[in-house]
Amino acid sequence: MKINDLIQPFVFLLLVGAVTPLLGGYMFKVFSGKKNILTPIFGKLENLILRVSGVNPAEEMNWKKYLWSLLAFNFAGFLLLFILQVVQKWLPLNPQGFGNVPFDLAFNTAISFVTNTNWQAYAGETTMSYSVQMLGLAVQNFLSAATGIAVVLALTRGIVTKLTDNLGNFWTDLTRSVLYVLIPGSVIVSILLMSQGVIQNFSSYADIKTLEGVSQVIPFGPAASQIAIKMLGTNGGGFFNTNSAHPFENPTPFSNFIEMLCILLIPAALTYTYGKMTGSKKEGWIIFGVMMFLLAAGLITSMYSEFSYNPALNTAYNLEGKELRFGISNSVLFSTITTDVSCGAVNAMHSSLTPLAGMVTMLNIMLGEIIFGGVGAGLYGMLIFVLLTVFIAGLMVGRTPEYLGKKIESLEIKMAIIAVLIQSAFILCLTAYASVTESGLSSLGNTGPHGFSEILYTFSSAVGNNGSAFAGLNANTVFYNIATGIAMIIGRFGVIIPVMVIAGSLAGKNKSPVTSGTFTTDNYVFAVLLIGVILIVGALTFFPALSLGPIVEHLLMKGGVLF
């Protein structure tokens, strides 16, 4: 291990912390409708879009209306993306003449992009035409991210306001996310990426003769524009099969640095926005701190594991599945943050990581994608745990639990538990089913405990809406396309719906005044409790499954066992 292997992650995390208040403060202005630096450019366009669509921006929605608009919009997005794929053959910008995408794969991919998962059972460069990539996949990259932001805004308003059922306007929130945050960010990032060599063209693939005279077909496409939003929107669906390991998607260490920054940028900044919205920046920073602590713990474990000697393969520097320009340090950092956040882009193959580093990626997802988490989704997921912690702390001291002056009662806790349990239940049940059926096992790429890890990772990734994979598993089968498709819907809307119910319920409550007996949530005691609750829930639920996969593999590897 070189000193530089430590400097890179350190500089990176420092920069994330530095940018958080800047972007977070900007987003606060955007989402509370205040004048901001981009209002002169996009203000008129925002009004125009809303007017043409027949939206009255002044109309406030209650939780049911908000949720119904969100679900209708996501369903329409699913239909459009599904249709685009199954009629691909007849659409323009298809220089390679790709045929229509099969129904089960199109179903899986459409759900995958609408739910911000971007699980890829297909290889982009041999399946999807340029028009489907642009009009279908990239559009959902924007819209699924904006949907996540909308949900967390609604929940925050529910916490902040009192005695009302108004949670804001879904269409306004969505439009503002896209116009003021996602598009400007993506334009800047695209241009930076192109300066490093990421491609952006509409040419047909080049058939060239190599120096030794062999034929090689080089794929092209409008990649830069899609990769920028894939990272910023924490989507993670690559333009090419090997995602950000592909030199056209991620050509230099600097492009890699930008892509990593994009993964964390919005989720981290939203904690600050949250602090501003609740009127106490400290509330936001405590959540940021808890997330950063969990991130760092995972990163240190991964680093330690990857730089240790592997007796089974007899190597201490395993570059299998990694790109030389990134080296081990950047590959490990990328794998950790892409699973902390529900991004799922990869710059190294997670399946070839050492068992403990692979376990960190899995556990990050299993905890519910709350270590910064997906755009919006990470914060509302974390707020669920905040409510549970407040509840448990309330039980311990024997007071009615309150969060920021709102009484946390039976309905909120029931909904919070549903949101947490539904994810764990689907991950474990689907993994168990796939582990004992022919349709599940016939896709395996590795044997031994690593084979089990492939299945466990698959369903964790689908339910967690992450989208990365232990890609030895052949996921493009009817069984996996349907099963992961269902898992992705449950993992997304099985959380969004309870969250919206909580938002509606909290909005209707009065705020109780702060007294000397109030349990405050802007301090280290609360941070420690919150970390405890997250780890106990995560560890108790998944420890048995992880023991069968990465933990036993680690022990056997240390004993030099091969499969």
Partner 1 sequence: MKTIITTIKVLLIMTVLTGIIYPLIIFGAGSVFFPSKANGSLIEANGNTAGSELIAQKFESEKYFQPRPSAVDFQPLPSGASNLGPTSGKLKAISDSLRLAYILKNNLSEDAKVPSDAVYSSGSGLDPHISYENAVLQSERISKARNFNEEKKQQLRKLIDRTLENPQFGFLGEPRINVLNLNIELDKL
Residue closer to partner 1, measured from CB, 14 or 528: 14
178 vs 231, beta carbon nearer partner 1: 178
Q: Specify the residue, 207 or 438, whose C-beta has the smaller distance to partner 1.
A: 207
Q: Which is nearer to partner 1, 243 or 278 (CB)?
A: 243
**Closest CB 320 distance from partner 1, rounded Å:** 4
- Determine the Cα–Cα distance for residues 246 and 521; give it in Å rounded to an integer: 44
Q: Number of C-alpha atoms within 13 angstroms, CB side, residue 168?
A: 26
Q: For residues 121 and 484, is the Cβ–Cβ distance under 8 A?
A: yes
Tokens of 129: 């035409």
- Interacting residues with partner 1 between 361 and 390 (CB under 8 A): none
**Number of residues binding to partner 1, judged by CB under 8 A:** 122
- Cα(first)–Cα(last) distance of the chain, in Å? 28
Of 99-107, 268-276, 397-405, 552-560, the segment contacting partner 1 by CB under 8 A is 552-560
Residues in 85-124 that interact with partner 1 by CB under 8 A? 123-124
Q: List the interface residues with partner 1, window 245-304 (CB under 8 A).
A: 245-248, 251-254, 256-257
- Residue span binding partner 1 (CB under 8 A) among the ranges 111-119, 413-421, 467-475, 527-535: 467-475
Q: Tell me which amino acid residue 51 is.
A: R
Rule CB under 8 A: say whether 467 interacts with partner 1: no
Contact letters for partner 1, residues 219-238 (x by CB under 8 A): xx-x-xxx-xx---------
Tokens in use for 107? 């179903």
Q: Which of residues 502-521 bind partner 1 (CB under 8 A)?
A: none
- Residue 423 contacts partner 1 per CB under 8 A: no
Nearer to partner 1, 90 or 524 (CB): 90
Give the whole-angstrom CA distance, residue 467 versus residue 460.
9
| Residue placing its CB nearer to partner 1 in the complex, 333 or 533 | 333
Candidate ranges 13-21, 241-249, 269-277, 511-519; the one touching partner 1 (CB under 8 A): 241-249
Q: Which residue of 47, 100, 164, 315 would you call a contact of partner 1, by CB under 8 A?
A: 315
The stretch near partner 1 (CB under 8 A) out of 172-180, 263-271, 487-495, 510-518 is 172-180
Buried b (16+ CB within 10 A) or exposed e, 370-398: bbbbbbbbbbbbbbbbbbbbbbbbbeeee
Q: Could you say which residues in the range 441-460 bind partner 1, by CB under 8 A?
A: 445-446, 448-450, 453
Give 3-state DSSP helix, strand, coil % of the chain, rounded to 5: 65, 0, 30
* Cα(168)–Cα(391) distance, integer angstroms: 27
Q: Between residues 316 and 525, which has the closer beta carbon with respect to partner 1?
A: 316
Query: Which residue number, 75 or 396, has a Cβ lying nearer to partner 1?
Result: 75
> Binding segment for partner 1 among 269-277, 322-330, 433-441, 458-466 (CB under 8 A)?
322-330
State both tokens at 217. 């077909």
Least Å distance, CB 275 to partner 1, is 29
Q: Does residue 317 belong to the site contacting partner 1 (CB under 8 A)?
A: yes
Position 8 contacts partner 1 (CB under 8 A): yes
Give the bridge partners for 206, in sequence order.
218
Token output for 66:
């908000």
Pick the closer one to partner 1 by CB: 119 or 326: 326
Question: What x-and-dash track marks residues 179-218 binding partner 1 by CB under 8 A?
Answer: ---xx--xx--xx--xxxxxxxxxx-xx-xxxxx-x-xxx
Tell the smallest beta-carbon distance from residue 135 to partner 1 (Å).
4
Residues 458/486, Cβ–Cβ less than 8 Å: no
Per rule CB under 8 A, is residue 168 in the interface with partner 1?
A: no
Chain-centre distance of CA 421, in angstroms? 19
Decide if residue 139 touches partner 1 (CB under 8 A).
yes
Q: Which stretch binds partner 1 (CB under 8 A): 352-360, 382-390, 423-431, 497-505?
A: 352-360
Residue 49 in contact with partner 1, rule: CB under 8 A? yes
Report DSSP letters for 10-23, one per residue: HHHHHHHHHHHHHH
Which stretch of DSSP H or E encloses residue 282?
helix 281-306
Unique residue bearing structure tokens 């022919």: 438
The nearest distance, CB 149 to partner 1, in angstroms, is 14
Under rule CB under 8 A, residue 134 binds partner 1: yes
Q: Which of 150, 348, 360, 527 touches partner 1 (CB under 8 A)?
A: 348
User: Which of residues 284, 355, 467, 494 is near partner 1 by CB under 8 A?
Assistant: 355
Name which position in 14, 37, 41, 313 contacts partner 1 (CB under 8 A): 313
Shortest distance (Å) from residue 221 CB to partner 1: 10
Q: Maximum CA pair distance of the chain? A: 80
Would you say 221 or 538 has its CB closer to partner 1? 221
Exposure of 17 by Cβ count < 10 A (0-12 exposed, 13-18 middle, 19+ buried)? middle
Residue pointed to by tokens 């395996």: 444
Is residue 308 part of the contact set for partner 1 (CB under 8 A)?
no
The C-alpha angle with vertex 211 and arms to 208 and 212, in degrees rounded to 5, equals: 105
Question: What residues contact 395, with CB distance under 8 A and at least 6 apart?
Answer: 401
Beta carbon nearer to partner 1, 171 or 519: 171
Query: Around 309, how many Cα atoms within 13 Å sit in the side-chain half-sphere?
Result: 5
Q: Which of residues 392-421 bind partner 1 (CB under 8 A)?
A: none
Cβ-proximal residues to 508 (8 Å cutoff; 6+ apart), any chain: 163, 164, 165
Residue 270 to residue 275: CA distance in whole angstroms: 8
37 three-class SS: coil
Q: Are 228 and 136 in contact (CB under 8 A)?
A: no
Candidates 1, 160, 319, 432: give the one binding partner 1 (CB under 8 A).
319
Dist CA 373 CA 357 (whole Å): 19
Selected from 14, 22, 41, 72, the binder of partner 1 by CB under 8 A is 72
Strands 402-403 and 406-407: antiparallel
How far apart are alpha carbons 117 and 472 in whole angstroms? 19
